[in-house]
Amino acid sequence: MKAPLCIHCGPEDLEQGLFGQTFYYILQLLPYLHARGIFPQWELRTRHYGDPPDYLTVPGVLDLAYTSPTGPYHRVSLWEMRRRHAHVIGNEWTALHQLWTQYFRVPARVLHSAAEVLPSGAVLGVHYRGTDKQTASWDSNPISPQEYLSLIQEFLSARPGFNVIFAATDEFAFVEELRRSVSLPVISLGEVEFHMAEVHSMTRAEKADRAMLDCVLLSQCACVIETSSALPSFAKLLNPDLEIYRCAASKLFGKLYTKMPYFPVAHIPVLPVREPASEAILARTLHLDWRTQPDGQPFLKSFVATPRWKFNHTFFKSAESLGVDRMASYVMRGFF
């Protein structure tokens, strides 16, 4: 590609979560881009995180870590780039952190907001994903607030060194339940709008910044416990040394995802428990977790990334080197 690359998409192309779709799809491309020394322009628009009229989200919710190239561009859609060069993302957190931070930075405004939130001392981060996650059985298994609270109580009993809890959730009633269930002080940023709400009470950019702020604060905790969600899991990408555990299954593995684990939550270790009651909770909430699937075993090893469709990756890499990728894309249309 002789002209600078611009990777773009419209707001109708990215309709799911900021971390679970937009950031994840970006990360799938970075191993290829970095290997080729490509630092593109990004024009990613989303319905839920970019404000009208243009809905531009990246850059915006993220800053570029480099000076973006100027046009005219060789424009390729995000979906086409993923068809060509999507990677299965692994569990080498330090290498992935280094890769991510060569391309993106958390905006200074978010870091400034985070600077005074967490007190000194050991902070336990707790993230509870409610709302749609409680009914999306294709994605994970529901875990009730009461079940989750009992797991947190056992963890604190075994690990008494924490001074405070930072709670992040899309169901704010959980925060009050947490306060009634533990002796530690609980701090929270307050209620937040559902990330895929159709009617907005705040600007989409404000909602995106709040999601980024929650993720940054979780990354600064001494330890994090989560149910099953991309937002707290991405805290491990921001801080690869973060101790973090999940309490529910990551089930996005089979035919829908062509036999690949769903980064980042798939690679978060399961919360260790000892009490029979806690073991029973996890036996249910981890049912059909990808790690128990025979085809998932190769992905349990340590790796950074591997091409998702190896034939596509090789074919289009050659076509791009020859400058005939548009023609190759037309010939290969519809093939993965």
Asked if 300 contacts 291 with a C-beta cutoff of 8 angstroms, the reply is yes
Lookup: tokens for 113: 């907001």
In whole angstroms, give the CA distance from residue 249 to residue 206: 30
Closest to 177 measured CA to CA, from 144, 222, 204? 144
Three-state secondary structure along 97-115?
Answer: HHHHHHHEECCHHHHHHHC
Q: What is the per-residue pLDDT for 191?
A: 79
Residue 1 has a pLDDT of: 46
C-beta of residue 276 within 8 angstroms of C-beta of residue 241: no
- Spatial CB neighbours of 119, under 8 Å, sequence gap ≥ 6: 163, 164, 187
Position 299 in a domain: no
Residue 38 has a pLDDT of 97
In a domain, 54, yes or no: yes
- On whether both 179 and 287 belong to a single domain, the answer is yes
Contacts of residue 315, defined as CB under 8 A and 6 or more positions apart, other chains included, come to: 328, 332
In this structure, are 95 and 113 located in the same domain? no
Work out the number of other CB atoms within 10 angstroms of the CB of residue 187.
15
* pLDDT for residue 336: 45
171 with 215, same domain: the answer is yes
The reply to whether 336 falls in a domain is no
Q: Please, which residues have CB within 8 angstroms of residue 249's CB and are 6 or more apart in sequence? A: 140, 141, 228, 285, 286, 287, 288, 289, 290
DSSP string, 32-74: HHHHTT---EEEEE-TTTS-TTT-EEETTTSEESSPPPPSS-E
Residues 82 and 49 in one domain: yes
Instruction: Take residue 26 and report the two structure tokens written for it.
Output: 């970006």
Number of domains in the chain: 2
Q: Is 184 found in the same domain as 35?
A: no
One domain for residues 142 and 253: yes
Q: Are 80 and 96 in a shared domain?
A: yes
Residue 26 corresponds to which amino acid? I
- How far apart, in whole angstroms, are the C-alpha atoms of residue 166 and residue 226? 12
83 in any annotated domain: yes
| Domain of residue 195, CATH code | 3.40.50.11350
Q: Is 190 left (phi over 0), alpha (psi -120 to 50) or beta?
A: left
Whether residues 256 and 308 fall in one domain? no
Is 40 domain-assigned?
A: yes
Give pLDDT, residue 257: 53
Residue 257, domain member (yes or no): yes
Q: Do residues 123 and 74 both lie within one domain?
A: no
Q: Do 197 and 286 reside in the same domain of the chain?
A: yes
| Residue located via tokens 């870590």 | 65
Indicate whether 82 and 158 sit together in one domain: no
Q: Which residues form the domain of 186?
A: 109-294
pLDDT of amino acid 259: 77
DSSP secondary structure code for residue 207 in this structure: H
Q: In this structure, is residue 236 part of a structural domain?
A: yes
The values of phi and psi at residue 8, to 5°, are -135, 160
φ/ψ (deg, to 5) at 276: -55, -40
Please give the pLDDT value at position 174.
94
With beta carbons less than 8 A apart as the criterion, state whether 110 and 212 touch: yes
Calpha distance 319→332 (Å, rounded)? 11
The pLDDT tens digits along the chain (336 residues) read 478 999 999 999 998 899 999 999 999 999 999 999 999 999 999 999 999 999 999 999 999 999 999 989 999 999 999 999 999 999 999 999 999 999 999 999 999 999 989 999 999 999 998 755 555 566 789 999 999 999 999 999 999 999 999 999 988 899 999 999 999 999 999 877 655 656 666 899 999 999 999 999 999 999 999 999 999 999 999 999 999 999 999 988 765 556 789 999 999 999 999 999 999 999 999 999 999 988 888 899 999 999 999 999 999 999 998 889 888 888 877 554
Q: Are residues 76 and 182 in the same domain?
A: no
